[in-house]
Structure 1
């Protein structure tokens, strides 16, 4: 039998909790390294960036979360990297700027923007949306001049899988199964883990 916990992917929890003591009793600590930006901000950004990007105004990313929990006393091999199968979407982006919508003020907070299946079917490369890749953050996003969508795809998953293997992390988890109806993301994870 396993004992695990799922924790937010920000360092605040790790700083306020005795994670070294907790990890003595836990088999795994599942880092929910998604929703790092969006739900409360009217500024566009990546909700599951691997690394910090100059265009992303908030300094929240997978690397910072992993380092924060390791520094708090959790052994690397007990950390499970969390990835999203859904997106965050900002509407009414005010000016595309030189960053194709990244780091720009919007009329809405980054609410739920649809799951990966919906993005593949109706958004990526359609309805005026262009897929961009943030080389610093190692994640994709969509922008049509007014709406910004942060999401995960096979390319970003590949980089994250390489990262967790290099670091010696315990594995990967995702939220949530129904958001990948074709099984594309899950199949990619299984093949590459």
Structure 2
């Protein structure tokens, strides 16, 4: 005796089969159903939390350094500029390894203020060192000052890292016209 399948029960069987097939598509291949993929596991969450905590600590440090910078500007004391510059430097060095891509532009701006604070404090040697670190840390990146001048080019000239005898090269640099005029004046009077 053969058993016949009613069309209604056959339709239910197809629907159930399709539903089960659809559910299995939601599971990651190679992992049992209900298992988290490695990127969703506890390790991922811990590393993400550590990165967020490092960024929060960095921002808190940066705020303290910016406050010190404002105090230095209001007092005009070189020692305060030096303290602010050192704190900006510490903020960057406290970041854990592997945070190169964390808040890049924010870090570049803070690092730039630190370099300027070293200049204002009169520590040109450390400003040189930190400009080199800036260039290594933020390869092929630059900040632009008001008017579109390049931060890196401007610092190169201010720190006299470019040879004054190579003055025609200054015209090619992306620096403020006031700075170019001052360099022309210095070049003229050093040769006359």
TM-score after normalising by structure 1: 0.25
Structure with the bigger percentage of strand: 1
Q: Tell which has more relative contact order, 1 or 2 (C-alpha 8 A, sep 6+).
A: 1
Q: Normalized against structure 2, the TM-score is what? A: 0.25
Greater per-residue helix proportion:
2
